[in-house]
Chains A and B, each alone.
Chain A
Amino acid sequence: MASIYPATTQPDARQSAGLLSSIRRNMPLSVGLGILWLVAMVLVAIFADRIRPYGITQMDLTSRLSPPGMLKHLLGTDELGRDVLSRLIQSIRLSLVIAFGATLLSAVFGTALGFAAAQFRGFVEHLVLALADFQAALPFLIISLAVLAFFGSSMVLLVCLMGFYGWERYARIARGLAISAGAQGYAASVVQLGATPARVYLRHILPNVASTLIVSMTLTFPEIILMESGLSFLGLGVQPPATSLGNMVGFGREYLTRAPWIMLAPATVIMFTTLSISLVGDWLRDRLDPTVR
């Protein structure tokens, strides 16, 4: 017995050690740290309600603008005595939710338009190209400013608006890959079996282009975070009492001289998050898909 068990378990152990060391060999330290940071952020976002020490509007008027480092308020408090750490945690959740929703929306929208252009060609294709031209003509920040200012800022509108960010990237990829799949090859052969276009695109082309699309989602995600925080900084994104990373920086700016920690805490989180996603995204792209720019 004793001689059998080690023999069967040993290869497994060696294999898992090999896996670990191959991860270590193939993944730079920076990417590893990036992944750790992102996992931490996602956990914070998910468990925001549990780990937040105070309510985000709960004021402690006895300790206003108290500096970080105190046990009572680890990251200090703002001008109304609200706990910066609690607000930061809530902001991480909101900013991530907006960015995630918007990234999904723009991926779905862009992919659908790209497929439509590939399927119908002609007029539809020109329309999609014209839309992309339009988007390239107006900086996204300016479009958003105009829309948000005139329609008023609401969460739904903000996410929808952000959802238009970067759609043309997906459209271009989806269109190109769908055309090449449809000209000859698996897509054409499924059409020939009598499949409806919906089946061809959803069951066959989409799974085949998914990895490329996911890689470009990692490129769009940090840009959307920056866009949302920029808008919120200008006072047109997330509105109080809700709080996001950008609007924390925006309000913290008033107290830049007296209480820089109000602004530095969310600014650091924005930086590390976008940096991590960029590093991980670049690494993923190099590994999975060298064809995307």
Chain B
Amino acid sequence: MTPLIEAKGLVRIYALRHGPFSRPSFVRAVEDISLSVFPGETLGIVGESGSGKSTLGRMLLGIDPTQGGEVRFEGQPMPRLGTPEWRALRAKMQLVYQDPLAALDRRQTIATQIGEPLDIHRIGPRASRAGRVEELMAAVGLRPDQAGSYPHELSGGQRQRTVIARALAARPKLLVCDEPVSALDVSIQAQVVNMLSDLQEDNGIAMIFISHDLKVVRNLADRVAVMYLGRIVEEASSDVIFQSPRHPYTKALVSSMPIPGKKLEGRVILQGEPPNPAARPSGCAFHPRCPVARDICRTSTPELRQVEKGRTAACHVVADNAAIAA
């Protein structure tokens, strides 16, 4: 089976200027990332803030330019941002935002906004579009009488449902969700996540779900990639990663996940400063906080490689252990 979307060696570097006279410092937001997503599959991307996961999501959609590597969608290279080809491709790939209020136009009714992709991409006869909007609203759990509402008249959850309905309007094949529920009340989060999951299953959409919330990702994702300072440090199927994390960073993350009815035991508390992308440590970026770091970790950056069937990791220690086991 060919992947729906495939990224190879993606690099994104921001230049930060502190003042008119200082030399700019460079932030390597995304460094040498390769991944692929198959039709209908859900890839979870987890990491702390500043790990580059949002930038990665935008690069996969072609919104942020790549400074190295390439993205291929359905085997074709990603067209440049703003070209007619890029715009046409938006019917097949969509983004769901973290802040739904900012993503909606406060001067248009939600029905108009949900139907906007249909108008933009001229999908179906004009007369049938109202019907499709009703269908979408029902699918995301909005009442028909809310069609004429404006974004500020809705609750946060209803706004996010509107954004999701709009994203689904053109029947995309890929949905990138960037922290779609982190701005919502905890009680609403589960509803929206379940709805997303159902919609994805019913429509066979592939999804890239970006979040710092491991619980949500565990419920939703088939596969999970863990990011630390612009790099993927471990990737495996959701069950494997959460059952037996290998990378010390993943271990720390997973050990901090509360499991109902169980006391938090053996929790790995990370030492040191939280990661700062502007001051990336040498070698393995994680080594200053790593409980098992060795000398080599300070000097040489570990490659992401297969350490067992269905699992890749970027860690000298894990790689050595795998070699011994084999």
Contact = CB atoms under 8 A, between A and B. Distances in A.
Chains A and B in contact, CB within 8 Å: yes
Interface of A: 184-186, 189-190, 192-197, 199, 204, 207-208
Interface of B: 61, 63, 82, 87-91, 94-95, 97, 102-108, 116-117, 120-121, 163, 166, 170
B104 A186 contact: yes
The 3 closest A-B pairs by CB, nearest first: A194-B90, A189-B103, A194-B87
Contact of B102 (A185, A195, A197, A199): A185
Contact of A186 (B63, B87, B95, B105): B105
Given A194-B87, A196-B87, A207 B102 contact: no
B87 A195 contact: yes
Contacts of A207: 105, 107-108
A208 B151 CA distance: 14
Given A195-B116, A195-B120, A199-B120, A190 B105 contact: yes
A246 B196 CA distance: 67
Nearest to B58: A192
A193 B116 contact: yes
Contacts of A193: 90, 94, 116-117, 120, 166
Contacts of B163: 189
Contacts of A199: 120
A204 B105 contact: yes
B102 A192 contact: no
B1 to A, nearest CB: 27
A115 to B, nearest CB: 15
A208 B120 contact: no
Contacts of B89: 194
Contacts of B94: 192-193
B173 to A, nearest CB: 14
A208 B90 contact: no
A36 B179 CA distance: 54
Nearest to B92: A194
B63 A194 contact: no
21 contacts: A185-B102, A185-B103, A186-B103, A186-B104, A186-B105, A189-B102, A190-B105, A192-B63, A192-B94, A193-B117, A193-B120, A194-B89, A194-B90, A194-B91, A194-B117, A194-B170, A195-B116, A199-B120, A204-B105, A207-B107, A208-B106
A184 B102 contact: yes
Contact of B120 (A184, A186, A189, A194): A194
Contacts of A204: 105, 108
A210 B82 CA distance: 25
B139 to A, nearest CB: 18
Contact of A194 (B88, B97, B105, B106): B88
A195 B120 CA distance: 6
Contact of A192 (B61, B88, B105, B108): B61
Contacts of A185: 102-103
A162 to B, nearest CB: 31
A185 B163 CA distance: 12
A208 to B, nearest CB: 6
A192 B107 contact: no
Contact of B121 (A184, A192, A194, A197): A194
A98 to B, nearest CB: 32
A189 B58 CA distance: 12
Contacts of B61: 192
Given A190-B116, A192-B90, A194-B90, 19 more contacts: A184-B102, A185-B102, A185-B103, A186-B106, A189-B102, A189-B103, A189-B163, A190-B105, A192-B63, A192-B94, A193-B94, A193-B120, A194-B120, A194-B170, A195-B87, A197-B82, A208-B105, A208-B106, A208-B107
B219 to A, nearest CB: 26
Contacts of B117: 193-194
A192 B63 CA distance: 8
A197 B103 CA distance: 17
A28 B153 CA distance: 32
A194 B82 CA distance: 9
Given A194-B117, A194-B120, A189 B104 contact: yes
Contacts of A186: 102-106
Contacts of B105: 186, 190, 204, 207-208
Contacts of B106: 186, 208
Contacts of B88: 194
Contacts of A196: 87, 120
A22 B144 CA distance: 35
Nearest to B90: A194
A196 B94 CA distance: 16
Contacts of B104: 186, 189
A185 B88 CA distance: 21
Contacts of B121: 194
Contacts of A194: 87-91, 117, 120-121, 170
Nearest to A186: B105
A122 B122 CA distance: 33
Contacts of A184: 102
